Structure 1
């Protein structure tokens, strides 16, 4: 990295980056940086927060664990410690991320909020503007991922509610909701786990199920459900695997439709691949629903000052509202002049070809396939960029040799 301009008081205002600029220091950014380094390509990571993996460190609840076995969640070139359990905790995953960064000597530039990134057609370089610096490079890697910003739905009347309204990004533990009546909006993995956590802290959660949802046991026959599905997909058609998963799920969990949890017509894996909607892997919430400790509610019609009115005509009072409504990409807010992404911030090109755009643009972490997809993207990007890096170095060496011969 070198300076192309210095402002007053010797503060760098414009920096030339030899390798690619990576936006985001979560698992995606760390993985691609490590793979690049392993191929001899330097990079610079820009991170808006003051730490790596900020979603995990600052915006996740305490009881969070990986939903999949650790072998499906490892980043390239360095696995989890052997003494970690099959499903590492939030704090174990954070320690793994920190060890990963140390192992590969990855040092992001923290508190660099990317305001805009745009390809300069005149110079042929990417210009990435933060609050105090402009970074310039031949390559830009978008690693902010699918979960950059909380999704806050528009619910009629929510501004009238007297109690606290918090998104799961701000939820830590059910301890602060002890003995409270809590409305949980959303029934995905976060909604289920938060409701379970509230139960364990003697709160009374009412979970709003707005759409259909697939619920699968986390394990089948003593093995990871996800692991079984991945193994079967090597030999059987996707829809046949989906039918097998649903058959076992019905046998072990029962008919969830009777609990107000209607299944989609599309199978769980097919739906995940098509829309990114992840099936819920049950870790205990379903038994609490069956016992009545977690109450399933239909969609909310209106929030009132003291509670909510529901689509089925019921009206109940609540002390707090928790929005388990997920996250979204923020790429459209800062990536300018590129049509590679949709309005929702996802690559237009579907997996497995969503990792590479034009003019030196790359993306990692937008596959809708979690950490496994991140690892795949990072390896592909590093391989592609290392070829370009070698070509550029060879060209420079050739030019330098010609200059020496002329002298």
Structure 2
């Protein structure tokens, strides 16, 4: 049986909840289809020591400040999950958990959303599926010949499972730095590999400054000014306390990217080698947009062309929370509120027509 609603939001993490908040405020009938079986989005699957880049007050969704976590300046992932679950409940958002969306198709004046829990016909769709389910692994020579364990950021949980091992961490961003610091503090035999020397942001910079930089960049681009490069102009790694402590203790030395994997480790271009029991790829993600395959909207780099959050070639579709291309800092808790509001308002105008 096909159900009918004004808007279907795909994804019930932070971006989907922010969209639901603004849709509810405008009185727009909607449903939020979330593949996760419990509230919390991707945060419920991260490693135990992960910390936000900002204090709780600067890591909040619209309408509800995140409570301070006792004894912590930068909340951990478990605290974020609790906050998102409370947010969903507090605003009585219509989230259907365990509903995996398989495809979105055009159906005359409607869009048809096909999920494993049933079909929906809708006037508009907000996609808020994020990137966590699409980890990226680079095509490094020898990756298939390597006999040790390989895992991505999404599979990392804690240093305890690597006791007594030699571990190579690949990636010079925040995930690479936090996981390398986690392992280093635990005394794991660590080799941290980065494309270029790590670029730490100043110790007093956190998510507040990053949000301001991303917003200023978006404003400059919209006004036709020179690209300020936003967050990238400041550095690659936020020095959260565990990273700062490991760096200052001399535990976070790096080596340049290796040329290939061998059967038992890694090898650089000068033929030097390092043995490794495990390689952890902290090499980023791609947007999870496979459910739009039949709409044929994706272009260079797998992105869908947008104006604000609205898809250029399908005005009934909005994309939310995938990065700066769908709103300044929209992949962050504090940054997703404004583009979520803008998407809801634009959909409200569409429905009125």
Aligned to 1:319: 277
For residues 234 and 359 of structure 1, what CA distance do their matches in structure 2 show?
A: 24
- Of 208, 212, 216, the residue aligned with 1:227 is 208
Q: Deviations over 1:246-291 (max 9, x none)?
A: xxxxxxxxxxxxxxxxxxxx9762637xxxx972112344664565
Q: Deviations over 1:124-143 (max 9, x none)?
A: 10011123522111111111
Asked whether the 8 Å contact 1:268–1:279 carries over to 2, the reply is no
Greater shift, 42-51 or 185-194, is seen at 42-51
1:73 paired with 2:35, answer no
Change (3 A) 1:294 1:147: same
For residues 154 and 210 of structure 2, what CA distance do their matches in structure 1 show?
A: 30
Question: Post-superposition shift, 1:355?
Answer: 4.1
Asked whether the 8 Å contact 1:50–1:111 carries over to 2, the reply is yes
For residues 338 and 361 of structure 1, what CA distance do their matches in structure 2 show?
A: 13
Greater shift, 192-201 or 284-293, is seen at 284-293
Which SS does the other structure have where 1:80 is aligned? coil
Greater shift, 142-151 or 322-331, is seen at 142-151
Q: Deviations over 1:105-124 (max 9, x none)?
A: 1242222222211222xx21
Aligned to 1:94: 81
Aligned to 2:127: 142
Larger radius of gyration: 1
For residues 349 and 142 of structure 2, what CA distance do their matches in structure 1 show?
A: 56
For residues 55 and 77 of structure 1, what CA distance do their matches in structure 2 show?
A: 21
- Of 173, 180, 184, the residue aligned with 1:199 is 184
For residues 235 and 124 of structure 1, what CA distance do their matches in structure 2 show?
A: 37
After TM superposition, the score normalised by the length of structure 2 is 0.85
Which SS does the other structure have where 2:95 is aligned? coil
For residues 80 and 234 of structure 1, what CA distance do their matches in structure 2 show?
A: 21
Aligned to 1:168: 153
Aligned to 1:280: 237
For residues 235 and 201 of structure 2, what CA distance do their matches in structure 1 show?
A: 11
After TM superposition, the score normalised by the length of structure 1 is 0.74
Question: Post-superposition shift, 1:189?
Answer: 0.4
- Of 330, 337, 342, the residue aligned with 1:375 is 337
Count of residue pairs brought into register by the alignment = 338
Question: Post-superposition shift, 1:234?
Answer: 9.6
Aligned to 1:182: 167
- Of 10, 15, 19, the residue aligned with 2:3 is 15
User: Where do 1:115-154 residues align within 5 Å?
Assistant: 115-120=102-107, 123-154=108-139
For residues 373 and 119 of structure 1, what CA distance do their matches in structure 2 show?
A: 30
Question: Post-superposition shift, 1:104?
Answer: 0.9
Asked whether the 8 Å contact 2:23–2:29 carries over to 1, the reply is yes
- Of 298, 319, 322, the residue aligned with 1:363 is 319
Aligned to 1:344: 301
Question: Post-superposition shift, 1:383?
Answer: 2.1
Q: Which runs of 5+ in 1 are unaligned?
A: 6-13, 240-265, 393-407
Aligned to 1:309: 267
For residues 116 and 213 of structure 2, what CA distance do their matches in structure 1 show?
A: 49
Q: Deviations over 1:321-362 (max 9, x none)?
A: 1111111112145342253x4343434236xx2345444211
